[in-house]
Structure 1
Amino acid sequence: MTNIFDELRAALHSVWHRRWLALGIAWGLCLVGWLMVAMIPNSYESRARIYVQLDDMLAQQIGIGQGDRKQGVDRVRQTLTSAVNLEKVIRSTPIGADITTPKQMEAAVLGLGKMIKVESSQENLFIITASYGDGSNSDAQNAKIAQLIVQKMIDIFREENLAGNRGEMSTSLEFMDGQLAQRQKELATAEQKRLQFEAQNPSLAGGAGAGLQKLEAARAELRGIDADLAAAQSALAAINGQMAGTPRTIAGAAGPVGGARGALNEAQAQLNSLRARGLTENHPDVIAARNQVGALRSAAAAEGGGGTPGMPNPAYSSLESIRAERQANVQALSARRAAAQQEITTLTAQQFSNPAAAGEYQQITRDYDVLKQQYDKLLQNREQLRIRGSIETEHNSVRFQVIDPPASPRSPISPNRPLLLLGVLIMGLGAGVAASFAVGHLRSTFSTANRLEKAIGLPVLGAISQTISEPARILRRKRMKYFYAASSALVGLFVILLTIEFVQRGMVA
């Protein structure tokens, strides 16, 4: 422990003995260091927070989901610090006042890109931060430029989402219009080609598929006509049967009015009326009337003949008119059946008459249908895109709200000048002490008797203290005053520099 204490005393004596050297080195290093710190420009940081509202019911109705709008906002955020946007910021702020060449602009863009940060703290919350410091400007100017940079970035952020969407939609609509015009020309050419082919081959109008459809329709119509013709022929046969059982004339009555022959005539008329109504022979009313006629005929035969000659039977005349109508219906259906059969024969012959032309027409029709489908789809997509563009640009589904506008910073973020000034002072003092200590070890002097004893290996019998005269003491005291004054001046200069720093910050605020 005694050795350590002796070594410490020796070191302190060596430094104190060369205190002017330590102070001079401290002064030199402090002046150089403080000058370098003073040359470092203050960097001021400005920031702003932006809230982006992505929810919109009208946009969701046309298929613009929240994810789509979020992707658009993220794309703008990621490209916000692109070279094009940074050049806009430089040209719209005092940064670009002295830039005249592309090389200078490129360097300015690279430097500004390192000073700007765009962060997303939450899903819909964005933070734009910009720092700026230029030694050729005052602190107030640097603070104002930092604020202008953030404000310009907010404007670009808004413009990229609004005007950018308009530009994209406009470009997309122009592309869709060009595609539609091209498809329209191709469709008109294909349609003209199809019309010319149909004019040259009218039998193939509609294509092979249409021919088959016509053939099937004709066959279906023929089957319907056959069914109607069978029903008409059945009805005609029925009326012929009724007329076969109906007398043409009615004989006059021989007995008193209301005899068996008169009743027979009434029953016969009633039976004919039932048949004229279209009732079949198996109908209960027809069967009852027929039985009644049979019974009355037997009674009329027993009553005896004679009387007035026969008169025309009205029921028979009515049946004749019905039969004429049904005969006309059968003839009309027969004529229609013959026409349908002829059409079927013609269509069947056309299917096998010119297969090459039919194949060519089918190819033309297929090309036309494909172009028509493409044109209709493009037209529908163009309309959807137009509506979507109107919603995104005019309705403005993405809405911005600046929560914290960029403010002019009051204090620099870098450098921490008070800490740097203190560090330079400590470094200067430490370097002076270290230099004095090193010089003391380089010189062959001994500060204590023990050190001399260790160095020569012989015992030291004693030490003679230094005797100072009075003029020497006065001179030493005077030099000590100078040393303390120089040391105090160094500390005072440090305090003055700190004061200047805080005064400058107050002037910016």
Structure 2
Amino acid sequence: MDGLYEQFRIALHQVWQRRWLAMAVAWCVAFAGWVAIALLPNSYEAKAKLFVAFDNMVPTAAAASQNPQNDIMRLKQTLTSNENLTRVVRRTDLNKLVTSDAALGGVVAGLRQRIAVVAQPDSLFEITATSSFAGLSNAENARTSAAIVQQLVELVTSGQLAGDPQRTQQSLTFLDEELRRREQQLQEAEQRRMEFEQRYMGMLPGTGTVADRMAAARTELAQLEQTIVAARSAVNAMRGQLAATPATVPIPGAENAYAGTASGQLAGLEVQLSQYLGRGFTEQHPDVISLRSQIARLGPQAAQERSRGSAAGNGIPNPSHVSLRAMMSEREAQLAAAESRRAQLQADLAQLGQRDSAQPGAAAEQARLTRDYDVLRQQYDRLLADREQLRLRSDMQTQASAMVVRVVEAPRAPSGPTSPNRPLFLTIVLVLAIGAGIAAAFLKGQLQTTFPTANRLASVTGLPVLGAVGEVVGRAERTRRRQRLVWLVGSGGALAASYAALMAAEMLQRGPVA
């Protein structure tokens, strides 16, 4: 603790020994800072708060396109348009700064940077304008800030926001022209697609590209192959059943007469053969071979009996035989149709393969045509939707919607500049100046090799210090030092008085604006 106290005394002694350097640095820093603050232009800000309500008279789904937030955003953009800002400049003191069209554009651009429109909850939004134009006095800047906000409020409340109907009509005209151009391109692309499909794709099933249709044809061909194999198996099996089924059955009461005929014997042998085959006998079985030989021998005799009509009197047509015959005819017809379709698909695929070999870029051309058509179609649909939405919103705004605007807080001329905060800046500069003077004196003391205390000398040299001789000051020296102290106090007082004078001048400067 003693060491810290001694270090503080040493630092204070170093600063005091160089007090005139500290005072000079403080005056230089304060003067430079205060001059810089004096050169800063005053900025005056005025604001107004508005309540905006949109009374929509069409509570349907069509009114959903009219979003209040979108309308507020539209008000923001329209409020700061060139035409509206030009009107504001002409009706305020800013017109004094306009000497030419180029100067008008510069004033309008600067005014746009100084206007802020902020949306707030509950359908409120705040209009703020800042005026700090170099060609106007402080009082004129204060009046101009309030006048700018007042003009903007009048534009909103009177419903004279310029540019919105014109921009809406221009947008509709542009969209109509784009739709006509895209419609013509879409028709040309569709015509090219139709011509290509007529050349290459009319012969194949399915939809899509050439590759898709060829794949569909191959799939259908594979299914037909399976269908043909199954149909052939069914027809062969049905032929065997038909051969084992007698064409007629005996008439009740005439069994004995029918049994003695060749047709009756043949029918019995065929039934017996069917039984053997059903039991698993093969064609090499002796009983099957014997029955086959007997059937072959009795076949011509049974045919002669049927031709003479001998069997007609001894039997009637077998219903099972007739049903099997009809089913077999149907299966044979299905088989023939499947084989015909297979042959047609094979011929079409072969023909398309020849065309593809002759024109290898057909698939790429078809893909390009489809891609171009899809892109044009998407663009056309999007433009059409945008046009209808814009037209519907315009109709809602002009016919079925009313905007209610009320001024919640009217603009007022500011009583003082919003920025810069000169009293705060003047105080900060004074504190920095005093700190800079003390720091300069302390740094100079650190650079010079002095020994303010005996302990400091002993710690630096490493030698014992036997004693210290105090300074003897005479009467003349004390008088001179007292006079210099008065000068130092006067210099510090002058610095404080300058600060007080600047603060008073700042307060007086704000008075005429209010």
1:217-256 → structure 2 map (5 Å cutoff): none
Aligned twin of 1:447: 452
For residue 156 of structure 1, report the CA deviation from its aligned partner: 3.6
Please, what is the CA RMSD of the aligned residues?
3.6
Q: Which amino acid aligns with 2:437?
A: G
1:119-130 alignment to 2 at 5 Å?
119-130=118-129
> Is 2:44 the counterpart of 1:39?
no
Contact 2:84 2:162 in 1 (8 A): no
Q: Which has the larger radius of gyration?
A: 1
- Equivalent pair of 2:88/2:152 in contact (CA under 8 Å): yes
Q: CA deviation at 1:146?
A: 0.9
- Distance in 2, matches of 1:5 and 1:382, equals 84
Structure 2 residue 432 is the aligned partner of structure 1 residue 433: no
Contact 2:78 / 2:164 at 8 angstroms: preserved in 1? no
**Aligned partners of 1:30 and 1:424 also within 8 Å:** yes
**1:157 is the counterpart of 2:172:** no
Matched, 1:481 2:480: no
Q: Could you give the per-residue CA deviations for residues 18-41 of structure 1, whole angstroms, max 9, x where no partner exists? A: 111111111111111111111112
The one-character-per-residue Cα deviations of 1:113-151 (angstroms, maximum 9, x if unpaired) are 332210111242111011222455332222111111212
The answer for the alignment partner of 2:425 in structure 1 is 420
Equivalent position of 2:145 in the other structure = 146
Counterpart residue identity of residue 10, structure 1: I
Note closer, same or farther for the CA distance 1:163–1:478 as it changes in structure 2 (3 Å cut).
closer
Query: How is 1:75-154 mapped onto 2 (pairs within 5 angstroms)?
Result: 75-100=74-99, 104-105=103-104, 107-154=106-153
Q: What's the offset of the Cα at 1:498?
A: 1.1
Please tell me the residue identity of whatever aligns with 2:416: S
Q: d(CA) in 1 for partners of 2:439 and 2:393?
A: 80
Q: Secondary structure at the match of 2:406?
A: strand
* d(CA) in 2 for partners of 1:382, 1:37: 55
Q: Secondary structure at the match of 1:496?
A: helix
Paired with 1:384 and 1:103, the residues of 2 have a C-alpha distance of 37
Match of 2:5 in 1: 5
Letter in 2 for 1:53: A
2:38 and 2:422 map into 1 onto residues whose CA distance is: 8
Q: Distance in 2 between matches of 1:110 and 1:176?
A: 30
What is the distance in 2 between the residues matched to 1:176 and 1:134? Answer: 42
- Determine helix, strand or coil for the equivalent of 2:452: coil
How far did 1:488 drift?
0.9
- Pairwise mapping of residues 354-373 of structure 1 onto structure 2 (< 5 A)? none
Query: How far apart are the structure 2 equivalents of 1:384 and 1:425?
Result: 61
Say whether 1:471 aligns with 2:470: no
Match in the other structure for 1:50: 50
Alignment partner, residue 16 of structure 1:
16
Displacement after TM superposition at 1:422 (Å): 0.5
Q: Residues 451 and 457 of structure 2 are in contact (CA less than 8 Å); yes or no, is this contact kept in structure 1? A: yes
Q: How many residues align?
A: 303
SS at match of 2:66: helix
Q: Structure 2 counterpart of 1:40, which letter?
A: L
- Cα 1:167–1:82 shift into 2, 3 Å: closer
Amino acid at match of 1:438: L
Question: Equivalent pairs: percent with the same residue?
Answer: 37
SS at match of 2:72: helix
Tell me the CA shift for residue 454 of structure 1: 2.1
TM superposition score normalised by structure 1: 0.53
Amino acid at match of 1:457: G
Aligned partners of 1:173 and 1:386 also within 8 Å: no
Q: Structure 2 length as normaliser, TM-score?
A: 0.52
Contact 2:42–2:420 at 8 Å: present in 1 too? yes
CA gap of 1:171–1:437, structure 2 versus 1, over 3 A, is closer
Instruction: Give the C-alpha shift of residue 384 in structure 1.
Output: 12
Deviation at 1:437, TM superposition (A): 0.7
Most deviating of 60-69 and 17-26: 60-69
Over 3 Å counting, the alpha-carbon distance change for 1:438 and 1:102 in structure 2 is farther
* Correspondence for 1:404: 409
Aligned 1:159-238 pairs, distance under 5 A = 164=163, 167=166
* Aligned-pair CA distance for 1:173: 10
Please tell me whether the aligned partners of residues 89 and 149 of structure 1 are also in contact (alpha carbons under 8 angstroms). yes
